[in-house]
A = this chain, B = another copy of it.
Amino acid sequence: MKLSELANTLELELHGDPSVRVDKIQPISRATKNDLSFIVSARYKKDLIQSSAAAVIVPPSLAEFASGNYLISTNPYASYAKASWLLSPETLPAPGIAESAFIDASAKVDPSTSIGAQASIGANAFIDADVVIGENCVVGANARIGRGSRLFANVTVYHDCILGAQCRVQSGAVIGAEGFGYAFDNVSGDGWQAIHQTGRVVVGNKVHIGANTTIDRGAIDDTVISDGVILDNQIQIAHNVQIGENTAIAGCVGIAGSTKIGANCQIGGACNIVGHLTIVDGVILNATSYVSQSINESGRYGSGMPLQSNTEWKRSFVVLSKLTDLLKRVRALERSKQS
């Protein structure tokens, strides 16, 4: 791809030779003559000065340090993201339905879609234009997959669930399993009685869902994932959770039932959030945060524990087991000082 073409598509100001060709993207420390690179901050200024990349995407503040060809971007990281698809376009399967796929006679499948081997599309399901359904995916009855969405292999979408347009779902994700809603029947001795989960999962547009992530269907109302949400792998989202627009959630997070998370939040890896809480817009959680109460103010929060050597950790473990005792001793000292 010629640099001028790249600059035009990304709408970036080009300095240098517009006819130079860029083949692939490499980190600034390694980029050589056919590579595009990028820097986001002054931290890499030295690399920029020494770079032999074909071209570098730079923020306006660092343009003066670019020796070769460069493109000016107010958000070089976002420009890099867009360039990554231009220089390495996605390989998409040709439209058409694999011979071994099962399509229920009542399903509506747009002819522009691609349905992979051994996939299964249920009764009255609707698969919109330009959708790609991977091998061995199962789309349940009455489910809807919006225009241009891609499901990689082995994704399960339960009956009645809805995915918007331009979604991207990685393998092993399960959308619409029955929420964990039970009543214990102490009278009849019948044990746990499941509550029929009659809600759906409704996923907006441009939502990305990671591998082996699970999103349960609602009990009565729907579980709702808003437009632009990005979910990493192995996230568990319980029934009736609502997640606001453009919220990003890293891997291994668990969110219990009926919790509402606002827009533009960033939830770090392995956080756990209990049920029936409200988290406002713009909350950032450090990795491994445990959230047991609603969060009413935007901002950054955390609760993770420091790592220690095993010897020191064992001692800390003992102190942590007797924290209230420690507090009492401090109080006693304070009282004796006052008296």
Binding site for B on A (CB under 8 A): 24-27, 74-75, 77-78, 80-82, 84-85, 88, 90-91, 98, 100, 102, 116-118, 120, 134-136, 138, 140-141, 152-154, 156, 158-159, 168, 170-172, 174, 177-178, 180-188, 191-196, 198, 206, 208, 210-212, 214, 216, 220, 227-228, 230, 232-234, 236, 238, 245-246, 248, 250-252, 254, 256, 269-270, 272, 274, 284, 286-293, 295, 299-310, 312-317, 319-321, 323-324, 326-327, 329-330, 333-334, 336-337
Contacts and interface: CB of A to CB of B under 8 A. Distances in A.
A323 to B, nearest CB: 4
> What is the count of identical protomers in the complex?
3
Contact of A254 (B234, B321, B330): B234
A120 B153 contact: yes
Contact of A306 (B187, B210, B251, B303): B303
A211 B301 CA distance: 30
Contact of A211 (B136, B174, B184): B174
Q: Most chain-B Cβ atoms within 10 A of its Cβ — which of A134, A299, A307?
A: A307
Contact of A269 (B74, B212, B256, B303): B256
B254 A251 contact: yes
12 contacts: A78-B183, A158-B171, A172-B177, A174-B212, A177-B233, A250-B256, A300-B309, A302-B307, A302-B310, A305-B317, A315-B324, A319-B324
